[in-house]
Structure formats: C-alpha cells, structure tokens
Chains A and B, each alone.
Chain A
Amino acid sequence: MGSTVTTNSDVANVWNGGGAQPLGASYGKMMMWFFILSDALTFSGFVAAYGFSRFKFIETWPIADEVFTHFPFMHGVSMPMYYVAFMTFVLIFSSVTMVLAVDAGHQMKQGKVALYMFLTIIGGLIFVGSQAWEWKNFIKGEYGAVETKGGSILQFVNSKGEHIKLADFAVTLPEEREQLTRSKATWFMSESSLPTYSVNEVVEGFKNNPDVLVRTEVIYSEETAKNATGVHPTLNHIKHKTILTREESLKRLEAAKLVIEGANLKHNEYGSKLFADFFFFITGFHGFHVFSGVVINIIIFINVLLGTYERRKSYEMVEKVGLYWHFVDLVWVFVFTFFYLV
C-alpha cells in the first residue's frame, strides 16, 4: 500500500488525526517516528560535536581503555571494555523483552505482555544503575594527576612505564592548608574540597623517587615524537601516551599548578577537559532518556495490568513505547562505539 492521503471529517476522531492514515500508520505511531527522528538528530548533534573536539585535539585525546577500567568486585584489576559490554548486553536484552511484549500484544495475550514489560523495566533499571556506578568511578578517579599552568595534564609512571598513583610516591609535608568554607570566611568565599596532596608534596615526592617519570597527554607516534623534546628512549609505544625522560619530567613539573583527582566539568585527571564534559553530557542525556523510558514503561505496564488495552482491543500503545525504548538502545549502540571503541 502506497501513501494515499485520505480525509475524514469525523469530529469524534479529531485527536487521532481524524482517523486518516497518510503513511499507513496510526497518528500516534507516525508521530512517535518523527519524534524519534528529531531526537536522533539531537543526539547526532552532540556526538558530532564530540567528534569535532576529538579531531581538534586528536594527538592528546584520552584513551578510553585507560579511563574506563573498572569492574565490580575486581578492585585494582584493569579490565577495560568488560563493564560497558555488560551494560550493552543489558540494554540489548531489554530491547528483546520489549519486542516480545509487542509481539504478545499482537496476539492479545495480556499476561505475557505484562511479564515482558516487567522484564524490560528491570533491564532499564539495571542499566541506569550501572551508568551511575560508571559515573562514580569516573568522578572519583584512580591515579590522580597534576595540571600545569597551560592546562595540560601530567600523569606519573614507574620505571617500567606503568601508571602509578600519587599516593605511591607523594610525601607529606608539615604544611597545613584548610579548605575555605563560608563559615570560616566571608559568606561569599568558599572553595571545593582540597585534593589529598598539595602540588609541593607531589613535586617533593617526585624528586625523592628517581624511578618515577612523567607521562604527558600526547599520544606517541613517529610524528609526535619528531617534534617533542625529552621523549623517553625505551618506554614508549605507538598509540600510547608519551613518557618523558627524568630530566624532561623535572622540567615539566616546574609548571605544575594544581593536583587533580578524578573528574568534574572543570578538570579531570584523564586528560582533555572536554573529554569529561562530553562524557557527562552525552551519557547523562542518554541516561535521562533511559530513565524517562523506564517511567513511561511503568505507566504502560500498569495500564496492561489494569486491562486498559484489553478493553481497547489493541495493544498499540505498547508498540509506541516500544519504539521509544528501542531508540534508546539504538543511541547506546552509537555512544558505545564512539566513547569506548573508536
């Protein structure tokens, strides 16, 4: 059947487009498709902006495998990809239960629709919870780093080139620096919580440990090594962050200005500030979609239990929220690729 425009002056049907079905789909379903199209363009705008920033800082962009390394109950073990793979599977599986609910709806099986909707909601909740855990690890950070006057991040490695924590070498100096809060100063003066170590303590600790080296944001390649000074002769590998010689490390540390632990919208220990901004914004916007999808699913689930769609003799409402839910899954497929894989 092609796309024929039919008109219908039936006033009682005015809220569903007068019963006309120009594209062979009901009014609600067609409009859900167009909403999804516009939402897809919003997301692609964000992801394309991420791509812009990444191409702009292509030689210094953080490497996702070094950022997202946590897995529950595997403390201190670097396991990139596994956790996000688990999240992806949860979302794909909840998509499957959703489409099974739609399928059961076509056959007017109320009990089955309710069961599959319930499983979909559980899947959605697990996903949002996992996202929260991922955020927690990202915000908390693991190693800590130093930010220079120029705003670039210096991380620390041992003599084997392995990333080490500030706590592994920083000293404690007899200096006391209290967090400025509104109660201790004038009401308009305060600051966020202080990092565990001051810049001095990190620098002193660095001087005391001749094995520690600085790792910069620059991704090592033949091209970037050509223009750089003080690149470590043996520890560097292609497509890994550049490690400096001891002399160059000491020189770079002179510009140290801030100690950074974890990530927020202003600073992050992983490298480019924009990386954390885009991560929070895009996964946050997607997580918000998942959350609203769960809420809508719960509403439809209750309606299924109440028998609303049995009386209506159509489960098309389940199909419409299903479209939205699959769209959320679709977006995640792209977020997964562009944040974790590429």
Chain B
Amino acid sequence: MGHDHVSNTKRIWLVFGYLSIITIVEVALGIKRPEALYHSHFLTMNLLNWIFIILTLVKAYYIVWAFMHMEGETKALRRAVVWTGIFLILYLTFILLTEGHYVFTVFRDATIKWNF
C-alpha cells in the first residue's frame, strides 16, 4: 500500500520546486506573450495556449500523485477516480466547446446582427 512510515520530506520539497518552476515559466510567458507562439495557430488554438494547458496538466499530475499521494493508492482506486474524471471532463469539454464554436459561427454569419 506504500504507507511506509519513512519521511518523504525530500520528495515534497522537490515537487514544490517543480511546481514553482512551472508556475514561474507560465507567468513569464503570460507577461511576455512571445509573438511567435501567441500569433501562431495549431489545432484550433495558438501554441501559447497549448503550452499553458500542458503545463497545467503537469502541475495537476504532481499535485495528485505526490501531494495527494495517489501513487501510493491501489491501482483500482487510482483508476476509479482518475479515469472517470478524465473521461467525463474530456467528453464535456469537447461537446461544449464544439457547440460554443458553432453558435459563434451562427452569430457571425447571420444576417441579423446581435450588436445593433
């Protein structure tokens, strides 16, 4: 079960270091917004947004695995929680963003203007 009662202090500080570095990178990119990334386009979004989202997922991984100690739980509990969450969230996001974009095109291309 991984509940060995040895101190994990070193790992905790290491993970804190990772999370801090990722946050600093995010903030630096958010302030600078380099044109090469910000004005690019890749799979419906600019590259900067993709970087932000990927870094966020890395942060989420470290929080759940190290801080919440998911790595020490049984495989069954881990999958019951993580897979359920990831599947439902991806599904919901896909449906809503697709629909949102569709409504946007309806507004944009309609003959009646919402902004009168």
Contacts and interface: CB of A to CB of B under 8 A. Distances in A.
A95 B60 CA distance: 13
A265 interface: no
Contact of B27 (A81, A92, A103, A255): A81
Given A34-B81, A36-B81, A333 B38 contact: no
Size category of the binding interface on chain A: 35 or more
B84 to A, nearest CB: 6
Nearest to A341: B52
A49 B75 CA distance: 32
B115 A150 contact: yes
B16 A37 contact: no
Given A24-B1, A96-B16, A330-B60, A37 B92 contact: no
Nearest to A323: B68
A1 B69 CA distance: 16
A56 B68 contact: no
Interface in A22-58: 23-25, 30, 33-34, 36-37, 40-41, 44-45, 48-49, 51-58
30 contacts: A1-B74, A23-B73, A24-B73, A24-B74, A33-B73, A33-B81, A34-B80, A40-B89, A44-B88, A49-B96, A51-B93, A51-B96, A52-B97, A52-B100, A54-B100, A55-B104, A59-B104, A88-B23, A98-B67, A99-B67, A103-B12, A107-B5, A149-B116, A150-B115, A151-B115, A238-B39, A334-B56, A337-B52, A337-B53, A341-B29
Contacts of A337: 26, 52-53, 56
Interface in A137-158: 148-152
B26 A341 contact: yes
Interface in B51-104: 52-53, 56, 59-60, 63-64, 66-69, 73-77, 80-81, 84-85, 88-89, 92-93, 96-97, 99-101, 103-104
B9 interface: yes
Interface residues of B, number: 59
5 shortest A-B CB distances, which residue pairs?
A55-B100, A3-B76, A24-B74, A23-B77, A52-B100
Contact of A48 (B49, B73, B77, B96): B96
Contact of B104 (A34, A48, A58, A100): A58
A333 B7 contact: no
A153 B108 CA distance: 18
Given A44-B93, A107-B5, A95 B67 contact: yes
B68 A96 contact: no
A334 B60 contact: yes
Nearest to A84: B27
Contact of B77 (A30, A81, A89): A30
Interface string B6-37: 01110011001001100110110111010000
Contacts of B104: 55-59
A52 B23 contact: no
B83 to A, nearest CB: 10
A51 B103 CA distance: 13
B67 A326 contact: yes
Among A23, A25, A333, max chain B CB count under 10 A is at A333
Contacts of A76: none
